[in-house]
C-alpha cells in the first residue's frame, strides 16, 4: 500500500526546498545577446481564459458588433505602435504589417463572426474556437519555420482577447524600477513596448530563436532568453536574476561568485567592439608563437559572412540538419553537393568541417524516413536512436549525404565529422559506407578528393576512454562538450532540479578533455573542440592550456578568444592547464581562476 501521508510530506519538503532562495540555473535559448543582472518582474499566465456564455438571439448582433469593435481597437493599437517606430526597424515594421493582415484574416474575423451567429455564443469563446481551427491547419504544416508562425496568429488573437476582456497592457504599467520581465510568452509588440528603459531584458518560457519575438528583441538590442521552461513557476517578482542572452543561461538567486563572474562577462562584452575589431585580422598565436586555429560554428551557409567578419579560420562545425528539415522534400544529392561545395570553396584553403546528420531526441522531422517502430515511442531519447545511430540505420539517406560531401571535397579542404561515435565499430561501419559512396562516384566518373579528412565527435564517455584506439582510425577529433558534460555527469541540463550541476569546469570533464587531447596527439591527429565551452572566455585559457589545436565557437566570440590567446605565453597556459588538472573539485577551480584570470588578463577580467 502506498503511504499517502509520507508522500505528501516528501512533496511539501521538496516544495519548500525549491521555493527557498537557493541558487538555480535554468537553461533556455539565447535569443538576443547581452548580460543583465536585475530583479525579476513575473507575469503569470492568466488561467481560465475564455468563459462560455450562451447568448439569447437578441444579443447576437450586439456581440458581433462588440467583437468587430475589439478588432478595430486592436488594429488601431497596432497602427499607433507602427507609426511610433523609426523606419530603420524594418524587421519590426514588417512583422506588425503581417499581424495587421492576420487580425483581419477571414480565418479569424469572418469565422469568429460566423461562430457567434451560428452557435449563439460569446465573442471570446468563438474567437478561441476559430483560433483552434487555425492551429489545426498549422499543425499540418511540415516546415518548422512556417509552422512557428502560428505563434504570431496566437499573439494577434490574444490582443483581441485583451480588448474584449478589458485587460490593460500590463507590461506597460507603472514600474519605475529597472527589471527583467519574465512571462510565458511575449508578442513582438510586447517587446516593442518594452523599449522603455525600465525593461533591461526578458525571459520567456515559449519561443525559439527564429520567432518574431526573438527577431524584434535582437533588432532593439534587448537581451533575451526564450524557451526557459517553467520559469514563471520557479521565479517570483523581486527575485534577483542573471540573464545571459549569449548562452541562454538564467541564474536565479545568484551566488556572489556568479554575480562577479557575470559582471566580468558583461564588462568584457561591452568593452567596445571597436577595441576588438582589429583582432579579427590578426593571427591566432601566443606571444611565443604557438598557433591555435579559431574557427566558427554555424548552421546556415549565410553565416559564413559572420565567420569572415570575425576573422574565423574556417568552420569547426557546420550543423547539416537545416537542409533536411526546411524543404518540401528531402534534399537530393545534387542539391547537397552544391550547397556543401559552395561553402568549401568560399573558405578555401581554410578547413570546412561538416557534421553528418545529427537527428534524434527533439530534432526529428516527420519527413525523415524511419523503418521499424515509431521513433516517438522512445522512453529515453538521449540514450536512443539518434545521430550516427540513426544514419547507420537509414543507410540510403546517409550514403546520399556522404556522396554529396565527397563531391564537395574537390573545392577546397573539407572535413567530414561523424557525431556521437561511441565505439570503433561504428567508425568502421561508416568507413565501409563511405568507401561504397566513393566507388559509386568513380563508376559515374564524378571527381572527389580521396584524401578527404574524416573525424569524429568526442561526446560520449566511452569515446574518451577509447580515444587511443579511435585515434588510429580517424583524421581528427572534435570534442562536443555540451553532450559530453551531460553524459559524463549524468545531468540533463533541461531539468530544473539538476541543471545547476551542469558544470563545464568539472574536474572529470577537464580530465576527459586532456585524455582526448593526449590520445589524439600520440597518433599525430588534431584535436578540436566545438562545444559552447570553447567560446567561453572563462574556459578558453584553460582549454588552450590543455593543448587543443582548434577552438570552434559562435563567430562573434572569436575576437575575444583571439585577444586572450595573443596576450598569453604558451608555457604559462600549459602550466595553468596542469595546475587546474590538479584541482580536486569545481570550487577550487573557480577560486583559482578567480585569482588567476584578472591577474593575467586584466583587460578581460578586471572590474572597471
Partner 1 sequence: MVVREQMVVRNHCGVHARVATGLAAIAEADNVEIEIVFGGRTADCRNILDVLSLSLVRGSQVEVLVRGLEATRALTAVRELLTGTKNNG
Judged by the rule CB under 8 A, the positions of this chain that interact with partner 1 are 94-95, 97-98, 101-102, 105-108, 134, 137-138, 140-143, 145-147, 149, 152-153, 212, 302, 326-329
Task: Choose between 301 and 567: whose C-beta lies nearer to partner 1.
Answer: 301
Q: How far apart (Å, rounded) are the C-alpha atoms in residues 24 and 147? A: 33
> Long-range contacts of range 15-23, CB-CB < 8 Å, 24 or more positions apart?
18/234, 21/239, 21/253, 22/253, 23/251, 23/252, 23/253, 23/254, 23/255, 23/258, 23/500
Q: How far apart (Å, rounded) are the C-alpha atoms in residues 29 and 217? A: 13
Task: Choose between 148 and 260: whose C-beta lies nearer to partner 1.
Answer: 148
Q: Residues 99, 530, 539, 560: which is the catalytic one?
A: 530
Task: Choose between 154 and 506: whose C-beta lies nearer to partner 1.
Answer: 154
The dihedral sign for the CA sequence 485, 381, 138, 328: positive
Q: How far apart (Å, rounded) are the C-alpha atoms in residues 479 and 473? A: 16
CB atoms within 10 A of CB 435: 11
- For the CB of residue 193, give the shortest distance to partner 1 in the complex, in Å: 20
Rounded to the nearest 10 degrees, the angle between the axes of helix 90-103 and helix 60-83 is: 170
Task: Choose between 101 and 435: whose C-beta lies nearer to partner 1.
Answer: 101
Q: How far apart (Å, rounded) are the C-alpha atoms in residues 439 and 452? A: 14
- For the CB of residue 43, give the shortest distance to partner 1 in the complex, in Å: 25
Question: Cβ contacts of residue 86 below 8 Å, gap of 6+?
Answer: none
User: What are the two backbone dihedrals, phi and then psi, of residue 120, each rounded to the nearest 5 degrees?
Assistant: 55, 50
- For the CB of residue 75, give the shortest distance to partner 1 in the complex, in Å: 14
Is-catalytic flag, 212? yes
Q: How far apart (Å, rounded) are the C-alpha atoms in residues 527 and 549? A: 6
- For the CB of residue 247, give the shortest distance to partner 1 in the complex, in Å: 25
Contact (CB, 8 A) for 33 and 555: no
512: cell is: 576527459
Residue 235's alpha-carbon distances to 39, 285, 318, 327, 447, in angstroms, are 10, 44, 36, 39, 58
Task: Choose between 95 and 427: whose C-beta lies nearer to partner 1.
Answer: 95
DSSP secondary-structure letter at 54?
A: B
Task: Choose between 145 and 497: whose C-beta lies nearer to partner 1.
Answer: 145
Smallest CA-to-CA distance from 358 within 323, 312, 396, 327 is with 323
- For the CB of residue 102, give the shortest distance to partner 1 in the complex, in Å: 6
CB atoms within 10 A of CB 174: 6
- For the CB of residue 328, give the shortest distance to partner 1 in the complex, in Å: 5
Task: Choose between 228 and 304: whose C-beta lies nearer to partner 1.
Answer: 304
380: cell is: 529515453
Contact (CB, 8 A) for 97 and 156: no
Is-catalytic flag, 530? yes
The gap from C-alpha 172 to its chain's centroid, in whole angstroms, comes to 29
Q: Residues 155, 212, 269, 411: which is the catalytic one?
A: 212
- For the CB of residue 343, give the shortest distance to partner 1 in the complex, in Å: 14
- For the CB of residue 95, give the shortest distance to partner 1 in the complex, in Å: 7
Q: How far apart (Å, rounded) are the C-alpha atoms in residues 218 and 211? A: 11
Catalytic residues: 212, 530
Amino acid at each position: 500500500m502506498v503511504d499517502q501521508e509520507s508522500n505528501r510530506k516528501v512533496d511539501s519538503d521538496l516544495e519548500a526546498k525549491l521555493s527557498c532562495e537557493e541558487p538555480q540555473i535554468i537553461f533556455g535559448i539565447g535569443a538576443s545577446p547581452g548580460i543583465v543582472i536585475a530583479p525579476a518582474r513575473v507575469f503569470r499566465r492568466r488561467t481560465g481564459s475564455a468563459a462560455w456564455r450562451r447568448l439569447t438571439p437578441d444579443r447576437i448582433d450586439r456581440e458581433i458588433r462588440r467583437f468587430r469593435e475589439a478588432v478595430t481597437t486592436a488594429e488601431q493599437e497596432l497602427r499607433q505602435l507602427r507609426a511610433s517606430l523609426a523606419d530603420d526597424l524594418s524587421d519590426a515594421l514588417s512583422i506588425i504589417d503581417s499581424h495587421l493582415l492576420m487580425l483581419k484574416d477571414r480565418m479569424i474575423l469572418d469565422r469568429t463572426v460566423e461562430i457567434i451567429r451560428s452557435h449563439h455564443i460569446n465573442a471570446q469563446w468563438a474567437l478561441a474556437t476559430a483560433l483552434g481551427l487555425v492551429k489545426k491547419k498549422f499543425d499540418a504544416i511540415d516546415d518548422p519555420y512556417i509552422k512557428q508562425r502560428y505563434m504570431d496568429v496566437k499573439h494577434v488573437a490574444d490582443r483581441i482577447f485583451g480588448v474584449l476582456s478589458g485587460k490593460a497592457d500590463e507590461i506597460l504599467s507603472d514600474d519605475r524600477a529597472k527589471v527583467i520581465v519574465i512571462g510565458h510568452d511575449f508578442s513582438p509588440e510586447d517587446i516593442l513596448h518594452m523599449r522603455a528603459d525600465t525593461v533591461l531584458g526578458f525571459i520567456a518560457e515559449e519561443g525559439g530563436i527564429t520567432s518574431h519575438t526573438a527577431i524584434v528583441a535582437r533588432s532593439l538590442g534587448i537581451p533575451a532568453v526564450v524557451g526557459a521552461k517553467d520559469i514563471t513557476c520557479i521565479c517570483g517578482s523581486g527575485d534577483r536574476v542573471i540573464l545571459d542572452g549569449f548562452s541562454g543561461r538564467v541564474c536565479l538567486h545568484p551566488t556572489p561568485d556568479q554575480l562577479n563572474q557575470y559582471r566580468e562577462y558583461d564588462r568584457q562584452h561591452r568593452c567596445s567592439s571597436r577595441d576588438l575589431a582589429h583582432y579579427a585580422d590578426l593571427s591566432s598565436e601566443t606571444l611565443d608563437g604557438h598557433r591555435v586555429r579559431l574557427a566558427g560554428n554555424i548552421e546556415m551557409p549565410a553565416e559564413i559572412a559572420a565567420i569572415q567578419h570575425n576573422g574565423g579560420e574556417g568552420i569547426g562545425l557546420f550543423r547539416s540538419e537545416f537542409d533536411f528539415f526546411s524543404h518540401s522534400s528531402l534534399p537530393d544529392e545534387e542539391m547537397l553537393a552544391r550547397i556543401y561545395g559552395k561553402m568549401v570553396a568560399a573558405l578555401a584553403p581554410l578547413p570546412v568541417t561538416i557534421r553528418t546528420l545529427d537527428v534524434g531526441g527533439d530534432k526529428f522531422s516527420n519527413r525523415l524516413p524511419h523503418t521499424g517502430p515509431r521513433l516517438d515511442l522512445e522512453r529515453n531519447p538521449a540514450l536512443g536512436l539518434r545521430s550516427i545511430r540513426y544514419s547507420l540505420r537509414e543507410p540510403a539517406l546517409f550514403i546520399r549525404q556522404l556522396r554529396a560531401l565527397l563531391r564537395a571535397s574537390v573545392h577546397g579542404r573539407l572535413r567530414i565529422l561523424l557525431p556521437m561515435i561511441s565505439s570503433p565499430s561504428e567508425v568502421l561501419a561508416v568507413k565501409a559506407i563511405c568507401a561504397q559512396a566513393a566507388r559509386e562516384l568513380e563508376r559515374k566518373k564524378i571527381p572527389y578528393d580521396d584524401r578527404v579528412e574524416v573525424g569524429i565527435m568526442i561526446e560520449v564517455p566511452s569515446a574518451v576512454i577509447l580515444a587511443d584506439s579511435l585515434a588510429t582510425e580517424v583524421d581528427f577529433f572534435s570534442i562536443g562538450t555540451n553532450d559530453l558534460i551531460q553524459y559524463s555527469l549524468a545531468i540533463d541540463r533541461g531539468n530544473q532540479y539538476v541543471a545547476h550541476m551542469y558544470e563545464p569546469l568539472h574536474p572529470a570533464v577537464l580530465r576527459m578533455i586532456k585524455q582526448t587531447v593526449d590520445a589524439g596527439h600520440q597518433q599525430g591527429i588534431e584535436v578540436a573542440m566545438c562545444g559552447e565551452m570553447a567560446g567561453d572566455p572563462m574556459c578558453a585559457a584553460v582549454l588552450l592550456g590543455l593543448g587543443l589545436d582548434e577552438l570552434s565557437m559562435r563567430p562573434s566570440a572569436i575576437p575575444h578568444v583571439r585577444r586572450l590567446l595573443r596576450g598569453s605565453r604558451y608555457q604559462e597556459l600549459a602550466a595553468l592547464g596542469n595546475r587546474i588538472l590538479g584541482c580536486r573539485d569545481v570550487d577550487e577551480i573557480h577560486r583559482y581562476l578567480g585569482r588567476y584570470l584578472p591577474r593575467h588578463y586584466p583587460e578581460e577580467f578586471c572590474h572597471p
